[in-house]
A and B are shown apart, each in its own frame.
Chain A
Amino acid sequence: MREAAIVLRRELRSYFVSPIAYVFGVLFLGVQLYFATAGWEDGGQASAAAFFQLMSYLFLLFLPALTMRLWAEERKLGTLELLMTFPVKVSHLIAGKFFAAVAFLALILLLTLGVPITLATYGNLDWGPVIGAYAATILMASAYLAVGMFWSSMTRDQIVAMLLTLVTLAALFLLGFPLFLAFVTEWGIPAWFVDLLEGISPFRYFVSILRGVVDTRDIVYYLCFCGFFLYANYLVLQGRRVKG
């Protein structure tokens, strides 16, 4: 695990010494906060649900841009081969990069704390669902990052990695989107299959936690989802290491 921690530190530092963190952070925070605060008016509701809902949509667009470089850049610059020669297990490399990205996102999320604090100042905010929503956001972002890392490991082209991630996430998002499911239902697809499709989407579990109910089923789902894509990532990189 020491190796993973070293990779994590190195990766996290790399975010902040490059313009990526700042471009990503400023753009994401600017758009997120602009739209999320648009509904604030006297007599409105002191609820952060819309704020977190919007965040799930924006992650769909922003996170592929963050993850596209994780492996693709290493491959393009030829540093992946060098990395593979280090006495570090592939799993540690993946864990280090993954948790560094999660930590970076958590730091960005910290900067949004002003929103619930403001709502609590001007209204009677229920902090329980807010805490749950932050946890749900981290879990969902982790799932998105895992998908992004997987596609980044599959190609040396960052744009391709980003597009593949975007398409995958959009498809998963649609599966959990009520209007899309209603549309699918009209095709005559059996209800159990529609339920199955909906069950795959991280969006559904996100909404569940967003209400303020932390369910072990939702957490297990996210852990399994991340685990699956990180494992797939491992298989790809391990394959390359074996291949030499």
Chain B
Amino acid sequence: MITPRNSARDSRGGYVLGVAIQVVLVVLILIMVVFLASRMRMRLDLTEEKLYTLTDSTKRVLGKLDDRLLIEAYFSPDNQLSGQIADARRALRNLLDEYVQNSRGRVIVQYLDPHSDEDIRQKAQRIGIKSQTMSDRGDRTLSYKELWQGVRMRYGGKKQKTIPYLAPAIVPFAYEAALTPAVKALTVTEKPKIGFVSQPAPPAGGGQPGADFRALRELAEIKDQYDIVAHPLSNGALIPDDIETLMVVRPKDLTDRQKYVLDQFLLRGGRLVVFADVDDYSIGQQRMFNRRVMAYDARESKEKFLDQLLSYGVDVGTDILLDGQQQAAEGFAIMRRTQFGIPAMERLFYPYWFHPMPVDWADYADQLAKGDDGNVDEALADNYRESFKPGVSEAAKVIGAPGFYWPCAVDLAEEMPAGVTGEVLLRSSPLALEQAPPQNLNPTGRGRTPGQQQADYFKFRQDLVARFESEPRKQYGLMVEVKGDFTSFWKGKKAPLSPEAQAALDAQKKKEAEAEAEDPLNKEVGEDPVKDGEEKPAKDDDENKPAGEDRFKPEEVGPPVAPGDEAQDAEIPTEDVLEKSAAPGRLIVIGDSDCIRDDIVSGAYARTGGPYSRTGGRFFVNMLDWLAEDQDLFDLRNKIGVDRTLRFSGGDEDATGAQSVDQVRSKQFWVRALNIGIPPFLLLVFGLVVFVRRRMAKKTFIDSLGS
């Protein structure tokens, strides 16, 4: 028999049981929902650079796989990882999963644990996988762990590539930037050959050699895809046919023959890239920037290299450029003590280092046409809108823009040669001007003490202000491309002979001279008397010719003889001479070579305040791909390097854009103070309004009761 008391207890017990079952069911349902959601997930990558999304580059490269790609991942087990390294591993595994999903079954990932099996460990070491020692902080201990995170890729059983160690990274893009070029390298069947000619930068002094241009050529990403061969332009030989692209970096002391070689290469349909430079500035101790006079042309050469480029449609300036746009400036800083005696890097405005900005300057016409009274000069603004062009053209967007250091202007010729079209790819801001290269361009002069440096910089800045205020500023080209059917610069001129032809000719001349000397008819029997006032007959006109000229050749009559014909007459080696393009050629001229210089690209001066060409490497690699019309990796590379640096040093600077450390700190303080103070203040004001209104409403209510 059930008592009422027991019935209540049972009823309560039943309710609790019911609730418990409900809770368990709800928990199970929720777990299932979460599980299903993780299986059928959708992701939205909100980052501007799409850091968490596989790039189109990777998809393209994976899409082109026509054989099986086995990725052997030599990874330490996940359960031995902690903290951020564990997160980084998760990101890497997710990325490899995406490679598999996007490869139509071509990619297979095999995970191997070198910790679990000695054979795997030895194999990993044998193929070049390297472990790293990571510190691991425990509760009271500090231990070191061995971390394996390398991969070997095997493509179709024929080619393989090893990445010894993938450094842990939270953003999967860092892994993608290492893996995709490696996959791409495996699929390259034939590497395009690229000729490379360079002259080292001027020595810094103190017996140190000048910086070279080797670092970028040695990049694995480039070596995997291109066969870069240093071409000894100095030997005067024509460029071999298998070289389709020739890079001439910092052309200097070029002989006529070398210029002729370049001319013939272009006319053959080659792609010629010239990193031009006006006078150089060495980067010496105490950050002294001293002028080193540089000549494009060898002393004995008769033709000027700049005239040659002009004949193709490219006008290279002989002055250096300054850009007055603060945002375009490349970083330049010096170490200085603040008023409290604390050493700090102080950013200085140095308009000789700048980069083209990826904006359409026509959009800024109104802003730039503002007078001192703040009113816009409409006519001027219209003029600006028509003449200003984007800093980075559409075509150059895939290449990007490097920083330029003491560059020169490079523009299209006023009159383009027939059959040639051109485009300015990179431009300065409209606030740039040209200056004849001064002897010294160190903003802090030779001052040793901070006071002297300050005074020197003050003067340097004053000069800049005066220059920017008084001289006309305009937009200059920095990189130009011309293409089409070129006419030889040597057309109608006497073309220089090849070294072999010259040597053969010299030998033949010597032989002829000897034979002539032995001929009795040629022996002098005495000179004819010459009367006063009568011109002495020239024994040989060639005596008056400059050194190096053919002094033994009969006087030329009619059109100049092509070197081949001449050589043929003299039974010397011949060359096929082109006067018109045999195939459309491409010429790219860039107004600076420092942007790809070893010391500047590698950041040798980064800690001392610059110059540091962060984007030079990417620019170089992109340009190679652009020239080779290989766009596979553009998206991958162009994801790198969005500058998100905070700059409190802009805004209220003087005409040169400079601000002191104390000014910047003061600004930082106020920006921070306002951010901290205003929101609570607004909330309190709102509260006060609510309080006053409620009080008034209450008073009105009480008053209404009283009346």
Contact = CB atoms under 8 A, between A and B. Distances in A.
A240 B649 CA distance: 63
Interface stretch (A138-146, A162-170, A206-214): A206-214
A56 to B, nearest CB: 16
Contacts of B33: 220, 224
Interface residues of A, number: 64
A239 B694 contact: no
A128 B22 CA distance: 40
B78 A191 contact: yes
Given A123-B644, A217-B38, A185 B46 contact: no
A25 B139 CA distance: 37
Contacts of B82: 178-179, 181-182, 185
Contact of A123 (B41, B647, B668, B674): B647
B679 interface: yes
Contacts of B542: none
A178 B683 contact: no
Interface stretch (B47-55, B260-268, B458-466, B567-575): B47-55
Contacts of B678: 114
A224 B19 CA distance: 18
Nearest to B16: A239
A120 to B, nearest CB: 10
Contacts of B694: 17
Contacts of A29: 679-680, 683
A15 to B, nearest CB: 10
Contacts of A214: 43-44, 46
Q: What interface size band does chain B fall in?
A: 35 or more
A42 B45 contact: no
Given A41-B668, A183-B139, A114 B34 contact: no
B552 interface: no
Contacts of B46: 128-129, 131-132, 212-214
Contacts of B42: 215-216
B586 to A, nearest CB: 34
Interface string B138-161: 110000000000000000000000
Contact of B347 (A22, A42, A235): A42
Interface stretch (A43-51, A76-84, A94-102): A43-51
B679 A128 contact: no
A126 B30 contact: no
Interface stretch (B83-91, B303-311, B472-480, B618-626): B83-91
Interface in B549-575: none
B690 A118 contact: no
A111 B37 contact: no
B647 A42 contact: yes
A158 B217 CA distance: 70
Contacts of B645: 43-46, 123-124
A112 interface: yes
B52 A37 contact: no
Nearest to B671: A118
B646 A239 contact: no
B51 A212 contact: yes
B3 interface: no
B373 interface: no
A163 to B, nearest CB: 23
Interface in A31-87: 33-34, 37-38, 40-47
Contacts of A227: 30
A115 interface: yes
B536 interface: no
Contacts of B679: 29, 33, 111-112, 114
B610 to A, nearest CB: 13
B649 A42 contact: yes
Given A16-B687, A128-B48, A182-B83, A42 B676 contact: no
Contacts of B668: 40-42
27 contacts: A21-B687, A26-B683, A33-B679, A34-B676, A37-B672, A38-B672, A41-B668, A42-B646, A42-B648, A42-B664, A43-B646, A44-B645, A45-B644, A45-B646, A111-B679, A112-B679, A114-B678, A122-B648, A124-B644, A124-B645, A126-B644, A178-B83, A178-B87, A182-B86, A211-B51, A211-B171, A217-B34
* 5 closest Cβ pairs, A-B complex: A182-B82, A128-B46, A191-B79, A220-B37, A111-B679
Interface of B: 15, 19, 22-23, 26-27, 30, 33-34, 37-38, 40-49, 51-52, 78-79, 82-84, 86-87, 136, 138-139, 170-171, 345, 347, 642-650, 664, 668, 671-672, 674-676, 678-680, 682-684, 686-687, 690, 694
Given A33-B676, A124-B645, A213-B46, 17 more contacts: A16-B687, A22-B684, A33-B675, A33-B680, A37-B675, A37-B676, A42-B647, A46-B646, A111-B683, A123-B647, A178-B86, A178-B87, A185-B79, A213-B45, A213-B52, A215-B44, A216-B43
